[in-house]
Amino acid sequence: MAAVMYNACSDESFWKIEPEADFTITWQTPDNQAGPPPCSVTLTNTTDTRGLVTSYVWTLDGVEIATDRDARHTFTASETYTVRLTATNRNTSRSKENTVTIPESENESELKGIKMVSIKAGTFTMGSPPSEPERFGDEGPQHSVTLSAFRLSAYAITNEQYCRFLNDRGIGSNGQGSVTGFGTQYLIYSSGWGVAYASGQWRPQTGYAGHPVVYVTWYGAKAFCDWAGGRLPTEAEWEYACRAGTTTPFNTGNNLTTLQANYNGNYPYNGNPKGTYLGRTQPVGSYAPNAWWLYEMHSNVWEWCNDWRGNYSSSSQTNPTGPSSGLGRVIRGGSWGSSAGGCRSAWRSDDGPDGYGPDIGFRLAVAAL
């Protein structure tokens, strides 16, 4: 702390007080501890400001990451980092350093460079109770579902990952390709937030490599999963993974804020306060994961499931796969344009398998190790 305090800012001696830099680290994880990547952290500045600090600089291993009073960062690799805050006034600068270690996850593996999270076998109650606010009738009846163990990608498939698939498959500018069991179909469409074809290659749009792929059809999602050696999750697997052991409307509890998910904050849940509206996708890993280390299961993009949409049965089921036919394939989770209620764990929607949009993506499922 400053040794001397002067009342008059015009006194030259006041400027000789040295700022004492300090900060706290808050992990955006279920237990407020460093977790496997991608892992987000909030850096809260607690510097003594009696020295009239004129600037702040945050660095990570010597590279500047922010100049605001507080900062937020997402770590993308399992290693040890040095975080430094430098506070400067007219007279001098002071710095504070902390090291943080991002661990590897024991329940993670990789498939085609995609982080996969192991989901244990279990039984849960699928659907929502009649008393849940903003519920729709097709979310019931609630029923018991038992699932075998499987793996699910930690976050939605990104534009960068999808381009790797398109180029490896040699998909041309029209975005068409063969899909096992369905012949030639449209897989993907160019978009400003997604991918584009130029000079014989598919590339992510500038600044969107780490955003979830959009304008992808169900056929395109299935073709990617086939290429990666996996599949799309079933609707039951998706809800089980989203809930991560919870029975509340969201895996965050009885409400979902725009600090927790990317949805249209003008439409909060059940009379709660409004939040922000970002109006587009955000990079995967931007928000804290659920208790099973799955990111953005609520919001950002709707996610294709393998099932045709159908009515629920009240009877107990084991590894259900949905009806054998239908008009629409299930999409789950809500998106950047949804209301909070539309992002609930039990909310169901669908689109035709050739449907696509700026708010529909998917994630990869695969058998357990």
Q: Are 210 and 158 in contact (CB under 8 A)?
A: yes
The pair of structure tokens assigned to 26 is: 């808050």
What CATH number has the domain bearing residue 48? Answer: 2.60.40.10
**Structural domain count, the chain:** 2
| Residue 1, domain member (yes or no) | no
Question: What is the β-pairing status of strands 176-179 and 150-153?
Answer: unpaired
332 secondary structure, DSSP code: E
User: Per the structure block, which two tokens stand in for 363?
Assistant: 């994630």
Pairing of strands 39-45, 360-361: unpaired
pLDDT, averaged in runs of 10, over the chain (369 residues):
33 48 77 72 74 79 82 74 83 82 67 91 98 97 98 96 96 97 97 94 94 98 97 98 98 98 98 97 94 96 98 97 96 98 98 98 96
What would the two tokens of residue 35 be? 């977790």
Residue that is last in its domain, among 51, 67, 101:
101
pLDDT confidence of residue 112? 83
233 & 124 share domain: yes
In a domain, 286, yes or no: yes
Q: How far is CA 184 from CA 90, 154, 181, 216, in A?
A: 67, 29, 9, 15
What is the extent of the structural domain holding 76?
Answer: 12-101
Same domain assignment for residues 184 and 243:
yes
Evaluate whether residue 6 is within a structural domain: no
191 part of a folded domain: yes
Residue 170 lies in a domain: yes
pLDDT at site 40: 76
Do 224 and 365 reside in the same domain of the chain?
yes
297 vs 156, 182, 238, CA distance in Å? Answer: 9, 28, 9
- State the Cα–Cα distance between residues 120 and 102, nearest whole angstrom: 23
Is the same domain home to 173 and 290? yes
Question: What is the distance between the alpha carbons of residues 113 and 284, in angstroms, rounded to a whole number?
Answer: 15
**Residue 71: in which H helix or E strand, if any?**
strand 71-75
Same structural domain, 96 and 126: no
Report yes or no on 4 lying in a domain: no
User: Does residue 18 form part of some domain?
Assistant: yes
pLDDT at 281: 97
Tell me which amino acid residue 280 is: R
The answer for residues whose C-beta is within 8 angstroms of residue 181's C-beta and 6 or more apart is none
> Do residues 56 and 133 share a domain?
no
User: The CATH number of the domain where 298 resides is what?
Assistant: 3.90.1580.10
For the chain, the maximum distance between any two Cα atoms, rounded to a whole number of angstroms, is: 81
Confidence at residue 4, expressed as pLDDT on a 0 to 100 scale:
31
CA-to-CA distance for 139 and 150, rounded, in angstroms? Answer: 24
Q: What's the chain's Rg over C-alpha atoms?
A: 24
Whether residue 267 is found in the same domain as residue 360: yes
Peptide bond into 353 cis (omega under 30): no
Amino acid at 334: G
Q: What is the pTM of this model?
A: 0.75
**Domain boundary, last residue among 70, 101, 132:** 101
Distance of CA 56 to the CA centre of its chain: 29
> Do 183 and 152 contact (CB within 8 A), yes or no?
no
b/e burial code for range 43-53 (CB count within 10 A of at least 16 → b)? bebebbebbeb
> Same domain for 229 and 343?
yes
Are 171 and 310 in a shared domain? yes
Q: What share of the chain is helix, strand, coil (3-state, %, to 5)?
A: 10, 30, 55
Is 160 in the same domain as 61?
no
Q: Tell me: do 194 and 245 sit in the same domain.
A: yes
Please tell me the predicted confidence (pLDDT) of residue 364.
98
Decide which of 101, 120, 141 is a domain's last residue.
Answer: 101
What gap in Å lies between CA 117 and CA 110, rounded to an integer? 9
In a domain, 119, yes or no: yes
Residue 160 and residue 194 in one domain: yes
